[in-house]
Structure 1
Amino acid sequence: MTSAERHRSRVSWVVRKALSLFAAPRLDIREDYERVRRMQRQLAVLPHARYRALDVEIMSDDGEHPIPVRVFHPRERRRDEVLLFFHGGGWVTGDIESYTPACATMADLTGCIVASVDYRLAPEHPFPAGLDDCLRVAELLLSDPARLGADPASEVVLIGDSAGGNLTAAVSLELRDRGARGAKRQILLYPVTHWDHDPATSEFASVRRHGGDYRLTNTEVQDYFELYVPDAAARAQPLVAPLIADDLSRQPETLIITAELDLLCDEGEAYGDALERAGNRVRVHRVDGALHGFITLPRFSRSLREAYDVIDAFLDGDAPPSPAEASG
């Protein structure tokens, strides 16, 4: 789907005003990230009967630290794919505990095994520590899905939301550049793809339209970047901002799902356009009226159900032809 095919929302002013009441509390992430982590874990408490999971550890490439991975099994296994999930949280918050409800839901609604990676977080471990952890797990699992109890022939699909979507894109780029085995498919949920979220300088209208309210603000994104990549000059590189990559060829077949009322909406869709121009198979879907982070909402949420309908179709092979196929 091209930008020209996308439409502006019909969400009324009244609905927008109501949604703004659900905006996240205005915290100084640089000072309060530890408190946010604790709050997320407390809010994510889920009865054990609701899901089946197995915790495993994969050693880092240098053998210095373990990388925890939580493997979720659906109540009904309907697909052979394994979804390798990188969580959001601005590379600073979020972990396998706080994302356990979302991953249990993901496993049940897709019928896939879901493996959630507990990569290292900034500021204790700034870039590229978290990315290195994700790369390590992706390389091993893509080569041998049986490491996590899956069938050796299972396809591994990379998936991530927000900062995790950024890590998903970066992992795919780096695997290609290393000449390593990459995923055939990837799913990016409202991903971070650019480094500039200043409304005065950003090229994206959604940064100006939605960066001061709702679920995520310009200031919060900037705070996350300052903790993740403290050197501002180092942010303008593809493994931090995939949209600025000179070469986006040979990437996995990609599904990008954006949230209309999210400051990241335009840059996520721009990444889809850029991937398509580079010859990749891409589908972009915007969830109208949705806020940033909707994948963590309860199962009855309209936004979440719509997103999983699109994910299911993608996993079933419902994707547009590549540009070359379309022109041929």
Structure 2
Amino acid sequence: MSYPAKYDTLLDAQTWEFIRKTESFYPPDAVGLGVADQRKVYDKMCRAFNAPHPPGLEVHDTTLDHIPLRHYRAAKDAPAQVLYLHGGGFVVGGLESHDSVCAEISARTGFDLTAVDYRLSPEHPFPQDLDDAVHAAKAQTGKPLILVGDSAGANLCAAVSAALIGAKDAPVGQVLIYPQLGATEVTPSMAAHANAPMLGAADCGYYASIRSAQNPKTVTDPRFSPLCAASFAELPPTVAISAECDPLADDAALYCAAITAAGGRALHIQEAGLVHGYLRARHSVDRAKSSFTRIINAVSTLARGEWPTV
């Protein structure tokens, strides 16, 4: 594929190699693929970026009612619990697509981590994905809870945090990685990076249409689009990390600004020269590796009731 010339300057050689490797899994007619085929391609692509589990990590699967979960344990007496909600536009992805990411977060923080295989659209449109995420979060009791998610999963984290305001076991923090939060207007990043590598404006519209079952009223529901909330008060301390070359970059900035304006604590980190989906590049792209370390630091410090440094 060809992209606007500005990305030749914004992106380094390592990032371009990551982009080309990702694109190599998608056939020329990828736009016309059905959902089942999209999932197969996505899962195969994600497997190509998997890394071995860190040594000493215990991993096992369970089911919470109808929801498959995968649990990661790096230490016997972990001081905190992470709930991880994966990306994939609410349409693709699952326990396997983000397995090595979750394993490394658990190992590097020393925290227990539970990954959630929430139901996907179009078979299970909104709010069934959110219902699963809230149910899984409520089941995590006894330790400080940190919500972590990327892209669509970050959207679910923000919606879960809002749903659990005032709850006994509400999360003590959330880390949102290149979040999709439902800005209702065309943001500067959406306009500037409408044709960015890895994710474009048309892709964002496609996934929103599937998740909403093409119901325009759903799009302004704050559970669907956290940026549409009437209030951002009482949300947990938040770190939102965006990629510079991503149409969704401004969602993170707007969300953090709204929390801060409401008297809360939020930090937006914009990662220069990175693209949507860069978690998979954490072992091959130096910029992504550095960002992943900042993500680990954010998760660790929020769980201790401290504030991350950048």
> RMSD of aligned C-alpha atoms?
2.7
Counterparts in 2 of 1:12 and 1:213: CA distance versus 1, 3 Å: closer
The letter for the 1-side match of 2:164 is L
Task: Evaluate the alpha carbon distance shift between residue 78 and residue 286 of structure 1 in structure 2; reply closer, same or farther with a 3 A threshold.
Answer: farther
Partner of residue 147, structure 1: none
Question: What pairs up with 1:50-89 in 2 under 5 angstroms?
Answer: 52-59=58-65, 66-74=66-74, 80-89=79-88
Q: 1:189 aligns with which of 168, 174, 177?
A: 177
Contact 1:78–1:110 under 8 Å retained in 2? no
1:173 equivalenced with 2:157 (yes/no): no
Query: How many angstroms apart in 2 are the aligned matches of 1:174 and 1:203?
Result: 26
2:3 corresponds to which residue?
A: none
Contact 1:259 1:292 (C-alpha < 8 Å) held by counterparts? yes
Amino acid at match of 2:151: S
How far off its partner does 1:302 sit? Answer: 2.2
Matched, 1:38 2:73: no
Partner AA of 1:169 in structure 2 = A
SS at match of 1:183: coil
Counterpart in the other structure of 1:254? 238
* Structure 2 counterpart SS, 1:304: helix
Task: Write out per-residue CA displacement over residues 12-68 of structure 1, whole angstroms, 9 at most, x where no aligned residue.
Answer: 744549656727557666743322211233344458765531101111xxxxxx111
* Counterpart pick for 1:209 among 192, 195, 206: 192
What SS is found at the alignment partner of 1:98? coil
TM-score normalised per structure 1: 0.79
Q: Percent of counterpart pairs with the same letter?
A: 27
AA partner of residue 211 (structure 2): Y
**Out of 259, 278, 282, which is 1:275 matched to?**
259
Match among 287, 295, 300 for residue 303 of structure 1: 287
Among 191, 197, 204, the alignment partner of 1:221 is 204
State the match for 1:100 in structure 2.
99
Q: Give the Å deviation of 1:262.
A: 0.7
1:162 counterpart residue number: 151
Q: Which moved more, 1:103-112 or 1:297-306?
A: 297-306
Residues 70, 115 of structure 2: 8 Å contact kept: yes
Question: Does the aligned pair in 1 maintain the 2:240–2:267 contact within 8 Å?
Answer: yes
* Cα pair 1:44 1:101 within 8 Å, conserved: no
The answer to whether the 8 A contact 1:272-1:284 is kept is yes
For residues 278 and 170 of structure 1, the distance between their equivalents in structure 2, rounded to whole angstroms, comes to 17
Query: In the alignment, residue 178 of structure 2 is paired with which amino acid?
Result: Y
Match of 1:232 in 2: 216
Q: CA 1:254–1:229 in 2, change beyond 3 Å: closer, same or farther?
A: same
Contact (CA 8 Å) 1:107, 1:113: kept in 2 or not?
yes
| Cα distance between partner residues in 2 of 1:16 and 1:307 | 15
SS in 2 for 1:56: strand
For the 8 Å contact 2:148–2:176, the answer to whether it is kept is: yes
Q: Is 1:121 aligned to 2:120, yes or no? A: yes
Mapped to 2, the partners of 1:77 and 1:117 lie a distance apart of 21
Determine if contact 2:86/2:153 at 8 Å carries over to the other structure: yes
Rounded Cα–Cα distance in structure 2 between residues aligned with 1:100 and 1:195: 29
8 Å CA contact 2:227–2:255 kept in 1: the answer is: yes
User: Paired residues, what number?
Assistant: 288
CA distance in 2, matches of 1:275, 1:30: 39
Q: What amino acid does structure 1 have at the position aligned with 2:73?
A: H
Q: Distance in 2 between matches of 1:258 and 1:49?
A: 26
Structure 1 residue 213: Cα displacement = 2.3
Distance change in 2, residues 1:12/1:240 (3 Å): closer
Residue 225 of structure 2 is aligned with which of 234, 241, 253? 241
State how far apart, in whole Å, the 2-side matches of 1:208 and 1:20 are. Answer: 22
d(CA) in 1 for partners of 2:236, 2:258:
13
3-state SS, counterpart of residue 308 of structure 1? helix
1-side partners of 2:248 and 2:292: how far apart? 20
1:220-272 alpha-carbon deviations (Å, 9 max, x no partner): 11110111002022111111111121111110011111111111001111111
* Cα distance change on mapping 1:29 and 1:234 into 2, 3 Å: farther
TM-score w.r.t. length of structure 2: 0.83
Rounded to whole Å, the distance in 2 between the matches of 1:211 and 1:77 is 46
